[in-house]
Amino acid sequence: MNILAIETSCDETAAAVVRGGLHTLSNIIASQVEYHREYGGVVPEIASRKHLENIVWVVRRALVEAELDWNKIHAVAVTTGPGLLGALLVGVSTAKAIAYARKLPLIACNHLDGHLYALQANGQELPFPSVALLASGGHTNLYHMIGHGEYRLLGQTRDDAVGEAFDKVARMLKLGYPGGPAIDRLAARGNPAAIDFPRTYLEKGSLDFSLSGIKTAVLYYVQQNKINPETDQTVLPDIAAGFQQAVVDVLVDKTLAAARQCGVKHILVTGGVASNSLLRRQMAENCQSAGFTLHIPPPILCTDNAAMIACLGYYLYKQGKLADLTLNAYSR
Ligand code: KG4
Ligand code: ZN
């Protein structure tokens, strides 16, 4: 069964075709980063307009690269939320138009659940039972994954999402947008032990996160040391490395603690921040020494894409969870 999926929840216009929830035939992503860069973040109105300009050719390209024509597509899946409402509406309207015109089943996908299926888009079956860390620009969630569609939320951020913290710190350091990859690159030249930023673990046993403290600590460090990011560039790699190390320590420790609490052997890490090189490395090392099997999709499937949505859509379809043409988008 071939599913065409569409994802437009933020600033990537994406379409993909996946066979049987496991074999990615095409995965097209039109990034809008260059249009948002000068504003230092995603501008919702620009995102909607760019999705409108790009969605038709992105969908066409997904079919061409999959070497399939419309007759070989069996269902259409689309992200309905959470995300930017105007952006989501472009994807949802397109998917509805396709479903109506081609008389295809329509499947509504939650963006966060989609991230959990990124591993499948890489041709690997999701391991159950497992613990999953979903670290993105909008969420920092830990789940106990019991089976398809059966996830229990174990913990989440009480303030900023981890990707949001990376983006805000990058802005303080004038590293531009998107901030996560910029900090990742800069940190590679810094000493992670040079500045000791706080690690917030909250109450004993808690699997929740709090990222606002470390973000403020970086701000105070910059202010108290009168650092001008434009002229004092020698200290920036150490700040980036110290911040990244503190965040990754907490993410790794809590994920492993969750796996111990749930008594599972498999750990899944996904979401945009799962492309962070230190998180990947430290998670791999700690999982290996603690006897857990780690599953992380390649970076291109960790950030927003439609292949993961097609994989989720496949299981929703198999469970008979279909949408109709009254389908709408929701922001949160
Ligand atoms: O999952 P995603 O593409 O979109 C959301 O659903 O939010 O995640 C985007 C987030 C951004 O905050 C971005 O800065 C962060 O992921 N990110 C990274 C890296 N690559 C992307 N954060 C840290 N290190 C990276 N290499
Ligand atoms: Zn996302």
**Could you state, in order of their start, the residue ranges of all structural domains in the chain?**
2-119+302-318, 126-296
- Spacing, Cα 293 to ligand 2 middle (Å): 24
**Mean of per-residue pLDDT scores for the chain:** 97
Regarding the beta carbon of 167 and ligand 1, being less than 6 Å apart is answered yes
Ligand 2 center to 136 CA (angstroms): 6
Q: What is the pLDDT of residue 3?
A: 98
Q: Two tokens at 196?
A: 């000791």
Ligand whose nearest atom lies closest to the CA of 136: 1
Q: Is 255 helix (H, G, I), strand (E, B) or coil?
A: helix
Same fold, 2-119+302-318 and 126-296: yes
| Ligand 1 close to Cβ of residue 272 (< 6 A) | yes
Element (H, E) at 311: helix 307-318
pLDDT of 4 higher than 90: yes
Query: DSSP letters of 61-93?
Result: HHHHHHT--GGG--EEEEEEESS-HHHHHHHHH
Determine the residue of 273, 331, 332 to mutate for testing ligand 1's pocket, defined as the one with the most ligand atoms within 8 A of the Cβ atom.
273
The class of domain 2-119+302-318 in CATH terms is alpha beta
Residue 232 has pLDDT above 90, yes or no: no
CATH class for the region spanning 126-296: alpha beta
Q: Which ligand is nearest to the CA of 180?
A: 1
What percentage of the chain exceeds 70 in pLDDT?
Answer: 100
Find the range with the poorest average confidence among 32-36, 72-76, 223-227, 273-277. 32-36
| Residue 119 in this model has a pLDDT that exceeds 90 | yes
Q: Which residues in 112-133 are b (16+ Cβ under 10 Å) and which e?
A: bbbbbbbbbbbeeebbeebbbb
Q: Which residues are CB-neighbours of 246 under 8 A, at least 6 positions away?
A: 197, 198, 199, 214
Q: Tell me the mean pLDDT in the region 148-166.
A: 97
What is the whole-number distance in angstroms between the Cα of residue 29 and the centre of ligand 1? 15
Kindly give the number of the ligand 1 atom that is closest to the alpha carbon of 12: 3
For the CA of 277, the nearest atom of ligand 1: 26
Residue nearest to atom 16 of ligand 1 (CA): 272
User: Does the beta carbon of 271 sit less than 6 angstroms from any atom of ligand 1?
Assistant: yes
Give the model's confidence band at 149: pLDDT under 50 very low, under 70 low, under 90 confident, else very high: very high
Instruction: Identify the sign of the CA torsion 16, 17, 21, 24.
Output: negative
| Three-state secondary structure call for residue 120 | helix
pLDDT recorded at residue 329: 98
Q: pLDDT-based confidence at 244, cuts 50/70/90?
A: very high
Q: Whose CA is nearest to atom 14 of ligand 1?
A: 180
Look at the chain and count its residues. Answer: 332
For the chain, the maximum distance between any two Cα atoms, rounded to a whole number of angstroms, is 64
The helix (H) or strand (E) run that includes residue 312 is helix 307-318
Report the C-alpha gap between 87 and 331 in whole angstroms: 10
CA distances 31 to 25, 58, 77, 121, 304, Å, are: 20, 11, 20, 19, 10
**E strands, 20-139, where?**
23-31, 75-81, 106-110, 130-135
Residue 177 has pLDDT above 90, yes or no: no
Structure tokens at 54: 């790009």
